[in-house]
Structure 1
Amino acid sequence: MRGIWLASGLLFLALGGLGVVLPVLPTTPFLLVAAACFARSSPRLHGWLLAHPLFGPPIRDWQNHGAIRPGAKALAVSMMGFVFLASLLIGLPLKLLLAQGLLIGIGAAFVLTRPSGPRG
């Protein structure tokens, strides 16, 4: 079972890495799943991910406080808006736009209602 967790962690780490360079692919959710997988399979990789200067802080914010930093919130919601605008511009059918708008709205509401930092 440890091998499955490790392989899953590596897969989600790779997807998170792709999210760094592809603006429509989220990074942090994949890294959160990778961290959870590594916690069950590889203390070394789990520690490396949490200590990483770029990836570690948002993972620790989420694990310790359920928080998303304001800049990350702004980026996430902006990208959601960009994707929806692009869908409008390419002329997706109304049913798809409605479904996409509903899902983006739910995602944005979730992101915006998370704490922005450690609770005082």
Structure 2
Amino acid sequence: MKIVWIIFGTISLSLGIIGAFLPILPTTPFLLLTAYCYGKGSEKFHSRLVSSKIYKKYIKECVQERSMTLKQKLILLLFVSFMSITFMIIYQNILIRSILSLVILGHLLFFGFYVKTKNKRFFLNS
């Protein structure tokens, strides 16, 4: 099972790195997923990720302080909502639509009430 976590972590890391260069993909959620997957799959991979520059730049503060800038929150929530709504349109199944609606609601509640908002201006690069 550990190999599955490492594979998912590597895919997520690849998407996160691509997201660092493409504005359409959010970097932070993919790197958070990578840290989680590597934490489950391999201590070696996890420690390499935590000591990397990309981790320190994008998610170190998010993990340690459980806080994000407003810009990071909005990009993440827009991406998750966009992807969920896209699948809701594609799949006409009421169960799938209900589950995806709960996912959107869960993200809004989690990032709205649990994750603190850092005190940075919205238009500054963060």
Give me the TM-score of the superposition, normalised by structure 1.
0.63
Q: What is the root-mean-square deviation in Å for CA atoms of aligned residues?
A: 3.6
| 1:19 aligned to which of 12, 15, 23 | 15
Closer, same or farther: CA 39–92 of 1 in aligned 2, 3 Å: same
Contact 1:80 1:108 (8 Å CA) reproduced = no
Which 5+ residue runs of structure 1 have no aligned equivalent?
Answer: none
Q: Distance in 2 between matches of 1:16 and 1:117?
A: 25
| 1:45 aligned to which of 38, 45, 48 | 48
Q: How does 1:1-120 map to 2 (within 5 A)?
A: 11=7, 13-20=9-16, 21=18, 23=25, 26-33=29-36, 36=39, 40-41=43-44, 45-46=48-49, 48-49=51-52, 52=53, 54-113=54-113, 114-117=115-118
Give me the TM-score of the superposition, normalised by structure 2.
0.61
Contact 1:8 1:37 (8 Å CA) reproduced = no
Which 5+ residue runs of structure 2 have no aligned equivalent?
Answer: 20-24, 120-126
Identity of aligned residues (%): 8
Q: Paired residue for 2:124? A: none
Closer, same or farther: CA 41–84 of 1 in aligned 2, 3 Å: closer
Q: Which has more radius of gyration?
A: 1
